[in-house]
Amino acid sequence: MARVVLKLGDDISTDIIYPGRFMATVLPSETPQYAFADYPEFNARLKGGEIPPGSVVVAGKNFGCGSSREQAASTLKGHELIVVAKNFARIFLQNAINLGLKLVVCPEIEAEEGDELDILPDKIINKTTGKEFKVEPLPKARQAIIDAGGLIPYTRKLLLEKAAARKKA
């Protein structure tokens, strides 16, 4: 079971998730402090450890639109949040998969802050309202990266295969 801790609307940009003025901070170990920095109350709850890992952010359409900044994915990954949205902007979606941030595409999702969700592979059950919503699969092109646990281990595997093949030749 996962609790909705933040409810957002459509077109949530990466400037909202991770404001540009913090972009000089790049390391995934340092970015979590600035998650939703312009929502000071939510940011304080995150930093105060009040939000347990596995909590859910629910959003509308086009979540993560705008800049390609990977900090927007690493800052949420740092808190182990799950993002459920009607759909995602392309670069954000890829960054999230590459870093292992959990995203769920759920075009009809209805949930409010405080609701308890049961997130299953093919559907979400809102335990608070009793309603069910269909989950869409992530792009199939990205499955190999998800299976490898992210793009870094996946690339490392391909690099080692390439090096081994070169040695053989």
| DSSP secondary structure letter of residue 136 | B
Residues 59 and 8 sit within 8 Å (Cβ to Cβ): yes
Which helix (H) or strand (E) element contains residue 129?
none
Query: What is the rounded distance in angstroms from the CA atom of residue 121 to the CA atom of residue 130?
Result: 18
Contact residues for other proteins, defined by CB under 8 A:
11, 13, 15-16, 19-21, 23-27, 38, 61-62, 65-71, 73, 87, 89-91, 94-95, 98-99, 139-142, 144-145, 150-152, 154-156, 158-160, 162-163
Closer to other proteins by Cβ: residue 131 or 142: 142
Query: What is the rounded distance in angstroms from the CA atom of residue 145 to the CA atom of residue 97?
Result: 7
Closer to other proteins by Cβ: residue 55 or 95: 95
Closer to other proteins by Cβ: residue 99 or 125: 99
Burial (Cβ within 10 Å: 0-12, 13-18, ≥19) of residue 64: buried
Closer to other proteins by Cβ: residue 141 or 169: 141
